[in-house]
Amino acid sequence: MSFVKPKFRHPDLPLNEVGYSRADYEGVLSTLCAGCGHDSVSGAIVSACFEMNLEPHRVAKLSGIGCSSKTPAYFLSNSHGFNSVHGRMPSVATGANLANRDLMYLGISGDGDSASIGMGQFVHAIRRNLNITYILMNNGCYGLTKGQDSATADVGSVNKSGHANQFAAIDMAGLALEMGATFVARSFSGDKEQLVPLIKAAMSHPGFALIDVISPCVTFNNNPGSTKSYDYTREHIEATAAVDYVPFKEEITAAYAEGEVLDVALHDGSYIQLSKLAPNWNPFDRIGAINRVHEAKVKNEILTGLIFIDQDHPDLHQMLDTTATPLNQLPQALLIPGPEVLEAVNRAGR
Amino acid sequence: MHKLSALNDFVVRFANVNGTGSASANTMFAKAVFRMGIPVAPKNIFPSNIQGLPTWYEVRVSEKGYLGRREGVDLMVSVNPQSMLRDIKVVKPGGYFVYDSTKELYKEYIREDIHYIGVPMMGLCMEHFADPRQRQLLKNMVYVGALSALLDIELEVLQQIVREQFKGKEKLVTANFEAMQMGIDYIHQHYEYPLGLRLERRDEVGDRILMDGNTASGLGALYAGATVAAWYPITPSTSLVQAFEKYATKYRIDPESGKKNFAVVQMEDELAAIGVVLGASWNGARAFTATSGPGVSLMSEFLGLAYFAEIPTVLIDVQRGGPSTGMPTRTQQSDLISAAYASHGDTRHVLLFPSTPKECFDFTADAFDLAERLQTPVLVMTDLELGMNDTMSPPLSWDSSRQFDRGKVLTEAQLEAMTERYGRYKDVDGDGIPYRTIPGTHPTKGSYFTRGTSHDEYAGYTEDALIYQKSVDRLMLKWETAKGLVPEPELYQDGNQSEYGIIFIGTSTYPALEAIDMLRESGIAMDAMRLMAFPFADSVRDFIESHDKVFVIDQNRDAQLRSLLVNELEVHPKNLIKVLNYDGFPVTADYIFKTIQSRVAAGVSA
């Protein structure tokens, strides 16, 4: 097996509108286990960024610690990446975003990283409506330390060691809704059709966008009895709606009967097209979304799709009333008050 | 009975209840002395409490300019029945006890060896003012008036301070004048004045200012171009970020849009606060946080990441009494070791030790240049004593031709012109400092993956033994480079004049300099060195090795400064004599003098 990705690119690879091929969005070869859900999520991120015509250097990818947090090395090699400390990615992303509001921030975390050690930072980043796409690769276990239960493991779920979890599971989408998240979605690493458009929509969302992605751990939590295995997820998945992302340049073609399709206009001019599967589904209703998440849990359903969206809530920069120019680009002359200010300060001290 | 008598050289302590507006009156007193050209050193001695507990404000008046704390109180102003018994006990024999005589003193409060000066402060206010809240506040101005008569404070100076304080509020000015006059009249009618303790105008202040170190540090961050401040409230550093925000709100607003050219975020904890600093600095903004000991403990993990991943980081540590929650409103220099080596693994961080508000300003500004030049954390180590007390200081100044040193940051053009592969951790210049890139700079060049895991020159993960070792050795080379960039130690004599040396940092400076004068008068010469930074310059080793014995002043129990010297310079511990003060109060000249004098008399051995 080769550990180095060949640099060779086929000369006729199709390019997107900004002149990059799909390969330009890839990263180094993954060192995760063969079949790991996280690698599919990385693939979905590559597809989403390529198809959205993002310039890779305008994206910053940040992560914490864990299997999921390693993945930023496996996509977007032309983007700066920051693999920070365990559970603290949200604060680093907050600082990065404050420094330059013009880049797109992609936060990658896992259930250990966000639901346990980093839960404080996770919820507070949500409260501040930090403008970030937060992809939480959720497999219910700690892979890097060989399979201990995480805080998202369902009660009764059995891991590879045969042990059944007894402690209440934290539903990250439900928690995000409670904390006021302005974009909450859930998906499955095995459902690219749904995941790719959700990532695109999240990246277009001007605020905190959570995608809780069930991403099975093939090595430690893919056994019978686990509620985060590929089989279990496929059997219990329930979608709110089929999701399609429509860039603003394209015409919206309604492929569904009227009344079943909901176009959600995003502020950058693009649309999310939701083909409703559930009756009376309303992605703008937070209370309804919270109830639906709870109901799904009771019914042992894994509710996926866009669960909630509110694009009108101000993000952190708007709340802090910072200037439109990225703070890291303000020239020195604008930053230093004149010598007369220090003179006044000195006078006041006499 | 003996009456204390001194001109421009005494200590006045005010005993108040916190939350009663006494701070403003007490500050006016200190400022009036200062404006009479006489050096003052005011100190807040306050509880970790918001309202109702005893609080003290102590002003040392020293024509000679000794600004350290001095033991003993010559004149006590007591308006707090709760602490009165204690307050009476600390007055020096022959000293004066000014108290609110609206209620009669208990018999057991009478000491035969001090002078009682009763002024019915509350009673006078009750008669004269109608509003209950005003009575409470103006009561403080009655004692200020009384003091002006007792100590010969120029009334016009006090009145001018009142006018400035209540500018545009004429009614308040009048009321304050009346209250002061009531105090003056009462003294004139009932007591001999002035006392043996008194003030006389001098010209010993020069162009100096009175300012607290936290305000100066906040201004330093503003002038250094900090655009992101992230913090979590903690005494005694809170007022530092507040000062930054106050001045930024005034002077950093975009004139066209009215929007802020800065961001201040109160985070959920100290871990998040330093995380923001790392993220913002990594992304090319100047960012900082301020905290105290408990915060440094919490921030340690991120400091280790910043050290290893080489991210500029500025942290101002306003030290307080430890360990654990310790004494949040008392001063110490007890974070030296935890700051110097914060985080697990082999880590070491640049520390700066300011001792005046001007240095708080300068060193905070310098910390940003150093952090970016060295791509590493720089911690400015102040303490509660300096941070929260108005301290006499040379005026703040900024050289308008000064350019920020943003360090080795590759521009888009430099990246474009680059033919070889960019290596984030490659030591191109041989000084241990690699070149960094800011996200978003160039479409195809300069990106890298920042990580706290071991990495090669290209920021790729590695477990290769040689590559790892080379990378941490390069960090030591960078440490050597840092030695040449941090401020040099200060000497107080030309060449060595004694077999004894004395080393100190920060707020130990004033009492140390006073103690050196006292020692000289008693026949003991002492060579002095003030350290400004860690890593220590080679001249520090030379100083230690060229003296028989060197006294090291530490405001902590474990002789942390001495430990750093022994550990880093490999000097013989026996040659470094501990002078330790760790009761939460600033070390005094008297204590340093007595400790050293007795050690010298006993023939100094470690």
Q: How confident is the model at residue A277 (pLDDT cuts 50, 70, 90)?
A: low
Nearest CA in chain A to B33: A350
Residue A85 sits at the chain B interface (C-beta within 8 Å) = yes
Do the chains contact at A78 and B447, CB–CB below 8 Å?
A: yes
Looking only at Cα atoms, what is the longest distance across chain B?
90
For the segment B134-143, the average pLDDT, to the nearest whole number, is: 94
At A178-220, the pLDDT tens digits run 999 999 999 999 999 999 999 999 999 999 999 999 999 999 9
Nearest by CB to residue A98, choosing from B269, B280, B404, is: B280
pLDDT for the residue B506? 98
Per-residue pLDDT at A278 exceeds 70: no
Q: Which of B471, B472, B505, B501 is CA-nearest to residue B486? A: B505
Tell which A residues from 302 to 321 touch B, by Cβ distance under 8 Å. Answer: 316-317, 320-321
Q: How confident is the model at residue B606 (pLDDT cuts 50, 70, 90)?
A: very low
Tell which A residues from 92 to 131 touch B, by Cβ distance under 8 Å. Answer: 92-100, 102-103, 120-121, 124, 128
Tell which A residues from 16 to 55 touch B, by Cβ distance under 8 Å. Answer: 28, 55
Using CA atoms, how far apart are residues B87 and B105, in angstroms rounded to an integer? Answer: 13
Segments in A26-102 forming alpha helices (H): 37-51, 67-70, 89-99
Per-residue pLDDT at B236 exceeds 60: yes
Do the chains contact at B440 and A58, CB–CB below 8 Å?
A: yes
At A313-329, the pLDDT tens digits run 999 999 999 999 999 99
Residue A91 sits at the chain B interface (C-beta within 8 Å) = yes
Using CA atoms, how far apart are residues B366 and B524, in angstroms rounded to an integer? Answer: 37
Q: Which of B335, B358, B240 is CA-nearest to residue B534? A: B335
CB within 8 A of A26, min separation 6: which ones? Answer: A5, A46, A74, A75, A76, A77
At B513-541, the pLDDT tens digits run 999 999 999 999 999 999 999 999 999 99
pLDDT for the residue A275? 66
Distance of CA B150 to the CA centre of its chain: 32
Nearest by CB to residue A79, choosing from B268, B272, B447, is: B447
Residues of chain B above pLDDT 70, percent:
100
Nearest-neighbour CA in chain A from B222: distance (Å): 7
Mutate to test the interface with B, among A119, A127, A327 (most CBs of B within 10 A): A327
Do the chains contact at A96 and B449, CB–CB below 8 Å?
A: no
Report CA torsion sign: B2, B7, B13, B16.
Answer: positive
Using CA atoms, how far apart are residues B18 and B235, in angstroms rounded to an integer? Answer: 16
Set of chain B residues whose Cβ sits within 8 Å of the Cβ of A328: 227, 280, 283-285, 438
Set of chain A residues whose Cβ sits within 8 Å of the Cβ of B395: 342, 346, 349
pLDDT for the residue A252? 41
Checking DSSP bridges between strand B54-62 and strand B9-17, what pairing results, if any? antiparallel
SS (H, E, C) B479-541: HHHHHCCCCCCEECCCCCCCCEEEEECHHHHHHHHHHHHHHHHCCCCCEEEECCEECCCHHHH
Nearest CA in chain A to B450: A82
Nearest-neighbour CA in chain A from B279: distance (Å): 4
By the 8 A CB rule, do B194 and B150 touch? yes
Checking DSSP bridges between strand B54-62 and strand B115-119, what pairing results, if any? unpaired
Domains B6-198 and B211-393 in one fold = no
Residue B13's DSSP bridge partners are B58, B76
CA B374, B375, B378: angle at the middle one, nearest 5?
75
Intra-chain end-to-end CA distance of chain B, in Å:
45
Do the chains contact at A120 and B268, CB–CB below 8 Å?
A: yes
Fold of B6-198: Pyruvate-ferredoxin Oxidoreductase; domain 3 (3.40.920)
Do the chains contact at A96 and B280, CB–CB below 8 Å?
A: yes
Mutate to test the interface with A, among B245, B447, B453, B458 (most CBs of A within 10 A): B447
| Class (C level, CATH) for B211-393 | alpha beta
Nearest-neighbour CA in chain B from A170: distance (Å): 21
For the segment A123-143, the average pLDDT, to the nearest whole number, is: 97
Nearest-neighbour CA in chain A from B47: distance (Å): 26
Fold of B490-601: Rossmann fold (3.40.50)
Q: Domain A22-348 classified CATH 3.90.76.10?
A: no
Residue A285 sits at the chain B interface (C-beta within 8 Å) = no
CB within 8 A of A8, min separation 6: which ones? Answer: none
Nearest by CB to residue B263, choosing from A57, A120, A322, is: A322
Q: How confident is the model at residue A251 (pLDDT cuts 50, 70, 90)?
A: very low
Cα separations in angstroms, B573 against B508, B563, B567: 21, 8, 9
Do the chains contact at B251 and A96, CB–CB below 8 Å?
A: no
Do the chains contact at B441 and A57, CB–CB below 8 Å?
A: yes
Q: What SS3 state is found at B119?
A: strand
CB within 8 A of B114, min separation 6: which ones? Answer: B88, B91, B92, B93, B94, B95, B96, B97
Using CA atoms, how far apart are residues B253 and B248, in angstroms rounded to an integer? Answer: 7
Q: Which of A203, A56, A192 is CA-nearest to residue A135? A: A203
> Structural domain boundaries of chain B?
6-198, 211-393, 408-487, 490-601
Per-residue pLDDT at A2 exceeds 50: no
Using CA atoms, how far apart are residues B348 and B476, in angstroms rounded to an integer? Answer: 9
Nearest-neighbour CA in chain A from B121: distance (Å): 29
Q: What SS3 state is found at B566?
A: helix
Q: Which of A270, A238, A64, A264 is CA-nearest to residue A182? A: A264
Average pLDDT score, chain B: 96
